[in-house]
Chains A and B, each alone.
Chain A
Amino acid sequence: MSKIVFEDVHKSFDGGLRVLNGVSLKVEKGESHIILGRSGCGKSVLLKCLTGIMPVDSGDILADDISVGDKKRSKEYLQKFSILFQGNALFDSMTIIDNVVFGASQKNKDKSERRKIAEEKLLAVGLEKRVFDLYPAEISGGMQKRAALARAIAVEPEILLFDEPTSGLDPVTAGIICNLLKETIKSLGVTALTITHDLRVAEFLEDRISLLNEGRIVWTGHARDMENSGNQFVENFHRASNVITQRSAITAE
């Protein structure tokens, strides 16, 4: 039984914009799966459909055989997931620690326990005690990303979803965050689904990669096989990504 199953998912918006046009994909339990695609190809929309924030037009999405549309089991369904949002989505009316406590409170009823869990998680993602009582707007983007990760794992999810985990970060911080994500996935033993346009992030975190193009998954496999996949879009994406990597390596020198 696969952990997450997308079955022929369709989604379009007012004005006839077809974003998802029959997405089918299986994510296995315990794997770190990457969905790779160009900017604006509907990656975030796919994630919103997966978590039920946006209803799908047709098709179905299942997590452990529970359908996203199953109203009676929606709580059970949602509790499986935790998202690291593209823009972190920390609650800006709460301090960093309160954000994480809020996450922890979804599973844990005991008040002092929650706070202990929150401190633990914050330290685990490498935040110092002095930032615990600051507000999200008062800390840097890299720290916000860490705090958001702490909140995400405080929920104790079975599935972690990462939406563009390195967007808006400098290359060094991005590397550190990627390492942190990889460690987190490994130590928690969760299923992870990462959404990104950055091949380097994908290569680093992958067990498998799926490419999303024109509303469908066009290829699934390992990063090392992309070059000789026999699919024009996949090979072009691979080549273009490498050109950028080489250029930035040159400028960095």
Chain B
Amino acid sequence: MYNPLATLGKYTVSTLDEMGRIFLFALKGVKSCLLPPFYFREIFRQMTTFGFYSLPIVGLTAVFAGMVLALQTYVGFTRFNAEGAIASVVVISITRELGPVFAGLMVAGRVSSSIAAEIGSMRVSEQIDALMTMGVDPFKFLVAPRILSGILTAPFLVLIADIIGVMGGFLVSTTLLDFSTGSYISQTIQNMEAIDVISGLVKAAAFGFSVAIFGCYHGFYSDLGARGVGNATTSAVVSSCIGILILNYLLTALFFGI
């Protein structure tokens, strides 16, 4: 007989079990980031794939986010004659929320999938076994460089996204919406506070961590075979995006005291 309670119970237990495993995996990953040996070449290689090659997609997302934000704010704010606030709305929204979250989600799609696929196929083709028999800890060689590159490069990506995003808003406001260049810039600078930018960069580091951890975790425990690796890739993207959204809420609450 079908028992919905039993199914629910089973599902809850397996979800909690998975969360526990991810937590332990993350703990072990962080530990291996802090203790030697360090594989600097791997760290550098990961920083290039994580950061440098993500620049175009992150920049593109940011410029359109800034542009659409300026347009939308204009449309909304003219209803109560507050068009003057566009510059500050753009800079605050971009630095606090849109920059980090959009960059995070794009990187989650691009990087955590490729991490999961790479580590998953290394598992399938016995490369991880080969590492272990050579006395190399796969956590130190594979997981630590990815975590480090996530934490270190994501803030740079977001900083660039912030600048490009604000530029997007500036472009729309000065070309389509009759703002003068000087007043837009001075308003932007006046209304920008350090905490906005800093909170965004801290978020970015956390998002980078999420992308790396979920990518590595799903790659490491992917089922064998091409289908297993495919599923791992999907799971990595989905869970790192969810991770980003949850972390975003928690960090916002933490920073802005709610």
Please list the residues of chain A having a beta carbon within 8 angstroms of any beta carbon in chain B.
48, 51-53, 75, 78-79, 81-83, 85-93, 102-103, 106, 155
Contact B133 A91 (CB under 8 A): no
Contact A83 B127 (CB under 8 A): no
Interface of B, secondary structure class, is: helix
Q: Min CB distance, A65 to chain B, in Å? A: 20
Chain B residue numbers with a CB within 8 Å of A93 are 45, 118
From B118, B122, B130, B135, A83 is in contact (CB under 8 Å) with B130
Among residues 32 to 55 in chain B, which have CB atoms less than 8 Å away from a CB atom of chain A? Answer: 45
Contact A85 B136 (CB under 8 A): no
Chain A residue numbers with a CB within 8 Å of B45 are 93
Among residues 112 to 142 in chain B, which have CB atoms less than 8 Å away from a CB atom of chain A? Answer: 118, 122, 125-127, 129-130, 132-136
Contact B132 A53 (CB under 8 A): yes
Chain B residue numbers with a CB within 8 Å of A92 are 122, 125, 127
Cβ-closest chain A residue relative to B124: A87
From B130, B132, B135, A91 is in contact (CB under 8 Å) with B130
Q: Min CB distance, B202 to chain A, in Å? A: 31
Contact A86 B126 (CB under 8 A): yes
Chain B residue numbers with a CB within 8 Å of A75 are 135
Additional A-B contacts beyond A78-B133, A78-B134, A89-B126 (17; CB < 8 A)? A51-B129, A51-B132, A52-B132, A53-B132, A53-B133, A75-B135, A79-B135, A82-B133, A85-B126, A85-B130, A89-B125, A89-B127, A89-B129, A91-B127, A91-B130, A102-B134, A155-B134
Interface of A, secondary structure class, is: loop
A48→B133 CA distance, assembly (Å):
10
Q: Min CB distance, B59 to chain A, in Å? A: 26
Contact B126 A87 (CB under 8 A): yes
Chain B residue numbers with a CB within 8 Å of A89 are 125-127, 129-130
Chain A residue numbers with a CB within 8 Å of B129 are 48, 51, 53, 83, 85, 89
Q: Min CB distance, B96 to chain A, in Å? A: 37
> Which of B45, B133, B134, B136 counts the most chain A CB atoms within 10 A?
B133
Q: Min CB distance, A167 to chain B, in Å? A: 13
Chain B residue numbers with a CB within 8 Å of A78 are 133-135
A59→B122 CA distance, assembly (Å):
30
Chain A residue numbers with a CB within 8 Å of B125 are 87-89, 92
Chain B residue numbers with a CB within 8 Å of A85 are 126, 129-130
Chain B residue numbers with a CB within 8 Å of A102 are 134
Cβ-closest chain A residue relative to B45: A93
Q: Do A106 and B134 form a contact, CB below 8 Å, given A87-B125, A89-B125?
A: yes
A90→B130 CA distance, assembly (Å):
8
Cβ-closest chain B residue relative to A74: B135
Chain B residue numbers with a CB within 8 Å of A81 are 133
Q: Min CB distance, B134 to chain A, in Å? A: 5
Chain A residue numbers with a CB within 8 Å of B132 are 51-53
Chain A residue numbers with a CB within 8 Å of B134 are 78, 102-103, 106, 155
A75→B137 CA distance, assembly (Å):
11
Binary flags per residue of B132-162, CB closer than 8 Å to A gives 1, else 0: 1111100000000000000000000000000
Binary flags per residue of B142-186, CB closer than 8 Å to A gives 1, else 0: 000000000000000000000000000000000000000000000
